[in-house]
Structure 1
Amino acid sequence: MPLLRLIALCCALAPLLATAASTTTAADRPNILWLTSEDHGPDMGCYGDDYATTPHVDALASRGLRYDHAWSNAPVCAPARTTLISGLYPPSTGTQHMRSFAPAPAGKAPYPTFLREAGYYCTNNEKTDYNLSTPADLWDESSRSAHWRNRADPSQPFFAIFNAFQSHESQLRKRPHEAIHDPAHAPVPPYHPNAPAVRQDWAQYYDSVTAADAAAGARLAELAADGLTEDTIIFYYSDHGAGMPGHKRNPNNRGQQIALVVYIPEKFAHLRSADYTPGGATDRLVSFVDFAPTLLSLIGIKPPEWMQGHAFLGEHLTPAPEFMFGFRGRMDERTDFVRTVTDGHYVYVRNFRPDLPAGQHVAYQFQTPTTRLWFEQWQAGELNAAQAAFWEPTPPEELYDLHTDPLEIHNLANDPAHVATKDRLSSALFQHLIATRDLGFLPEGEIKCRAGDTSPYDWARESGHYDVHRLATVAGRATLGPPLPTAVVERQLQDNDSAVRYWTLRHLGLQHPSVAYDHVPHLRNMLDDPSPEVAIAAAELLVHRGNRNDRALALEHLGAFADPTHDHFAAVSALQVIDQLGPIASPLHPLLKTYPRESTDLPHPRYGGYVDRLLEHILAGNETEQPE
């Protein structure tokens, strides 16, 4: 055959050959099954916990790989699941707060979109709870009946998630309850009171983990019955730490460390990492932000550069990261701002609101008997230092050695022997905050006000919109270190950026009362600041630092901002301050009783209930004053 004719024939056949090749590749791609369970950490037999009863996940771990340093990035479900679906850190998208909502970044599709475009049948059974907007057709099916068995073509590769609710926080406090574990032998950590009610909660928590394990076992049995086990890569993971107080909602290791077991059949051994040994364990640092790029890598797609995680399996596996990062924002009705980093050995915690305790009064958490008993004993002065720490203002910095202190009790942040370690982790954390353009330096209402209907992620990357480096520097100095010079404070209180004004007020609140006295006239003027968050912060400070007339004026302004018929975010912020003021704010109670129990113009239904919970706690008597 002449050469030119041969070349022409090859060119004509090329599209057909390519189609055939891609069809073969699609047929050979692995199914992927995610079995996720709620509100439990690595409290399982495969992690060496002798009190746990988890035979199904233990069996999976005996054939797969156990990850000993896996984090959820967030210690509560909605921001953790937002991390999973997006492959982005929620502080980067403005979705770090519990049950918040923001438009998704333009051109950055959630991972199911990539899988479906690659020919996968994608199902979710059934929890979503994302703080980001997602496409209406994100899943082939997302419901309680969603299942790989529902696909029309049994040869089509599938991706399926099944979420087990059995271990959720709400389940460990249900009464009556059929016991599996003996409360007398429950492992009570030293930061909890060792009381019968606490042992009961811990035992019931382990019972709920056993129930989640059974749910995973049922799905694995279905997979085996369909003859698909050796065609399917299986992940078992929990969505953050234990549902017990001091774990869930806590951004330390104990609130973010998850159980993670991955099974990759021999058929897909080429997709395993070098540290994968059947029945083995790995120290590689893995967190939820890594899951989306890893999924794409497992099906042969190179993860887009905008994803902020690292693929830890598959064709596009990347080197292990040196650090993992975590965060805590608003927990239901209680605002906070905490950022954490770990190298697997040490955990560094930066509290940007050290005036607040870790144990703020979150109404949902107070339904757990342990929470109530723990708080009551703190009020009575019956706790030791390790137990009382949860209810007291947090230090600006915390540092824990996970090798010698896995329960994170002994804070080494001020230990001269650990200065180098603290500095190394602190530097890594601040570099991360800058690189990801962490939006936590803006109060929640400011994010919405500034970004409007635009994705906060996109807004923050427009030139001139968000000077994260400057705000991180201002907030860092404001919440750690000696008083700023008077001239610096005056200048920052008049800065054009409301966030600079906000953090300067926070700084004054953390200093000795005498530091703020010279600025009281300025605080009076700031009650009418164009930023509600700044005005509310000024009012809070004026209550504590001003004279009697200043206090009355500041309370009047707080009462006006607390009206939920105006601005939802301002109402929540003002009510939080009123609640923290306790009896000082009691003159406002008659006014608060006239307010509706919900914002009349919610930014999104996900914000519902927070005004009601705050008003309920304030008007019920406010039980969170510190003990004498």
Structure 2
Amino acid sequence: MKHRTSTLVALLATFANFVCPFESAAKQPNVLLFMSDDLTWHDLGCYGNKEVRTPNIDALAQQGMRFEYCFNSAPMCAPTRMSLYTGIHPVRNGAHPNHSEVYPHIRSLPHYLKDLGYQVALLGKRHEMPESSFPFDVLGGRHHDNGDGVDLNLSLAQKFMHTNKDKPWCLVLTSNQPHTPWNRGDASVYDAAKLELPKYLVDTPVTREAMTHYYAEITYMDAQLGTALKHLKESGQADNSIVIYLSEQGSNFPHCKWTCYDSGLRSAAIMRWPGVVKAGSVSQALIQYIDILPTLIDAADGDSKNYGFDGLSLMDILRGKQTAHREFTFGIQTSKGIGGGPDAYGIRTIRDSRYRLIWNLNWEGEFQNGVTRRFPAYQSWKQKAYAGDHFAMEQVQRYVKRPEIEFYDLHSDPHEMNNLATIPRHRARIDDMLNSLKGWMKQQGDEGDATERSALSRKIKRTYR
């Protein structure tokens, strides 16, 4: 009898070993992560823009949690994406310049989720290197869009969802919109004369016309997301899927991309997770893109604390167990090596819930990029400035020539146009934040000017497929 009981216990244990992994896997949520390309955070309906048409993103915000204060690590495509996929800030992972690559030992989202039993694929724009550090199953897509043909074949996403119905999956969809050239969508639906421009832009006919094409691409991209969500619903897997929307960094307009202002680093971020995230909720927590990967690992029954990420899991925020997440967010702009860029113009920044401090490492020089050299809207600003317009002259000059320290009160000055760095009453706060920024740089291995000037050593020697 004792032998028969022992045998039964052993058989039950063996059966449990086979059954439990399947039960656990069934509970693992799928992940659909959709990212725009060069979209300033406030240029969406659910983030307060009353003119741009984004019905699908707005609906997603009503179905999930909208993050009011999400930030990138860098206001450029490649560093942004590689910090998102690795959970590590750009200098520490090696990919701080644009068109760069992480160190060979760095692992990323495909590694971690594949280890947890996921199928992990990417469809769309590529901006991560080397490929061995980002082993996505690449379904297709383009790295930049010339406006011809189908740039994001979402039927491939549909096929992927149906093929992997019986296993957990993660699909990253990376649109090329609204990155320049603005050659998609119907700009005629936007009346240039009636648009309300952000306060940091100079009002010229060229700027207004450019805004209609930029908005048209946003609406075009919103439709792509809508199609992806339709495919997810039709697959019958929406209730067991985390959907994440991210806007990436700021647009091509001056004071956005390539800058460390909110209009450069701040991002729209929405997460829908039926049964876990409260629909229509808004989080005021300070979060960064580096927090996404640890969150997905924990959601997939892994333990993100095992990997030494810079990012911190958002699971307690998503579940409504806490409202605060970070005291500070950090950012870096490496200007050496960008198109039309300067020899060196490194920028570092720290932000809390109210103030932003920016440290321009090479402030004695001039900031330059493709915007200053050939962007038509900026050229129209210069023409207006030279014709005697004071505001235009201010915006032209402050884009290329900046003081060493900038300090802004985001409560009273959300567009960061009034630098308070020389006001005595802010001196103690500036010193505290600058010391915290320097401490973060030390932890990252960031040597400031030396890191900026050596940036070309991190650039890739080959192109994306």
More helix by share: 1
Q: Distance in 2 between matches of 1:365 and 1:230?
A: 47
Tell me how many residue pairs correspond in the alignment.
440
1:307 partner amino acid: F
Distance 1:15 1:243, change over 3 A: farther
Deviations 1:322-366 (A, max 9, x none): 1111110023342321011111211110110102334x1x23664
Give the percent of matched residue pairs that are identical in Structure 1 and Structure 2. 26
Q: Distance in 1 between matches of 2:15 and 2:70?
A: 44
> Which has the higher mean CA deviation after the structures are superposed, 384-393 or 408-417?
384-393
1:536 is matched with which residue? none
Q: Distance in 2 between matches of 1:286 and 1:95?
A: 20
1:77 is matched with which residue? 77
Deviations 1:181-223 (A, max 9, x none): 1111222234332111111122322222111111111111111
2:180 is matched with which residue? 169
Q: Distance in 2 between matches of 1:126 and 1:99?
A: 17
Distance 1:10 1:381, change over 3 A: farther
1:231 is matched with which residue? 240
Instruction: Report the secondary structure of 2:284's partner residue.
Output: strand
Residue 372 of structure 1 deviates from its aligned partner by 1.7
**Pair 1:357-2:366 in alignment:** yes
Equivalent residues of 1:87, 1:309 under 8 A apart: yes
> Which has the higher mean CA deviation after the structures are superposed, 30-39 or 331-340?
331-340
Q: Distance in 2 between matches of 1:46 and 1:381?
A: 37
Deviations 1:443-468 (A, max 9, x none): 5564777xxxxxx8xxxxxxxxxxxx
Give 1:490-569 correspondences, 5 Å limit: none
Provide structure 1 residue ranges, at least 5 long, that are not aligned to the other structure.
450-455, 457-601, 608-628
Deviations 1:126-169 (A, max 9, x none): 22211x42328812334135425236442112111112223113
Q: Distance in 2 between matches of 1:421 and 1:344?
A: 13
Query: Which of residues 126, 129, 152 is equivalent to 2:127?
Result: 129
Equivalent residues of 2:110, 2:134 under 8 A apart: no
1:579 is matched with which residue? none
Equivalent residues of 2:96, 2:334 under 8 A apart: yes
Q: Distance in 2 between matches of 1:91 and 1:5?
A: 62
> Which has the higher mean CA deviation after the structures are superposed, 132-141 or 408-417?
132-141
Residue 278 of structure 1 deviates from its aligned partner by 1.4
> Which has the higher mean CA deviation after the structures are superposed, 179-188 or 314-323?
314-323
TM-score by length of 2: 0.86
Q: Distance in 1 between matches of 2:399 and 2:454?
A: 28
Equivalent residues of 1:191, 1:386 under 8 A apart: no
Instruction: Report the secondary structure of 1:222's partner residue.
Output: helix
Give 1:256-295 correspondences, 5 Å limit: 256-266=265-275, 269=276, 272=277, 277-295=278-296
**Pair 1:374-2:362 in alignment:** no
TM-score by length of 1: 0.65
Give 1:108-507 correspondences, 5 Å limit: 108-130=106-128, 132-135=129-132, 138-144=135-141, 146-147=156-157, 149-150=159-160, 152-171=163-182, 174=183, 178-266=187-275, 269=276, 272=277, 277-303=278-304, 304-313=306-315, 320-330=325-335, 331-334=338-341, 335-358=344-367, 360=368, 362-363=369-370, 366-378=373-385, 382-384=389-391, 386-443=394-451, 446=454
**Pair 1:30-2:29 in alignment:** yes
Residue 374 of structure 1 deviates from its aligned partner by 2.1
1:368 partner amino acid: F
Equivalent residues of 1:148, 1:159 under 8 A apart: no
Q: Distance in 2 between matches of 1:41 and 1:47?
A: 10
Distance 1:286 1:53, change over 3 A: same
1:438 partner amino acid: D
Equivalent residues of 1:39, 1:242 under 8 A apart: yes
Q: Distance in 2 between matches of 1:25 and 1:71?
A: 33
Q: Distance in 1 between matches of 2:79 and 2:385?
A: 30
Instruction: Report the secondary structure of 1:425's partner residue.
Output: helix
Residue 11 of structure 1 deviates from its aligned partner by 4.9
Q: Distance in 1 between matches of 2:237 and 2:186?
A: 36
More strand by share: 2
Q: Distance in 1 between matches of 2:450 and 2:7?
A: 62
Q: Distance in 2 between matches of 1:383 and 1:202?
A: 22
2:285 partner amino acid: R
Instruction: Report the secondary structure of 2:131's partner residue.
Output: coil
Query: Which of residues 437, 452, 461 is equivalent to 1:604?
Result: 461
Distance 1:606 1:415, change over 3 A: farther
Query: Whose radius of gyration is greater, 1 or 2?
Result: 1
**Pair 1:20-2:6 in alignment:** no
Instruction: Report the secondary structure of 2:348's partner residue.
Output: strand
RMSD: 2.8
Q: Distance in 2 between matches of 1:311 and 1:67?
A: 14
Distance 1:433 1:284, change over 3 A: same
Instruction: Report the secondary structure of 1:25's partner residue.
Output: helix
Distance 1:239 1:603, change over 3 A: closer
Q: Distance in 1 between matches of 2:331 and 2:134?
A: 30
2:148 is matched with which residue? none
Residue 178 of structure 1 deviates from its aligned partner by 3.6
Distance 1:603 1:95, change over 3 A: closer
Equivalent residues of 2:340, 2:373 under 8 A apart: no
Deviations 1:222-263 (A, max 9, x none): 112222221211111111112212211111111011111111
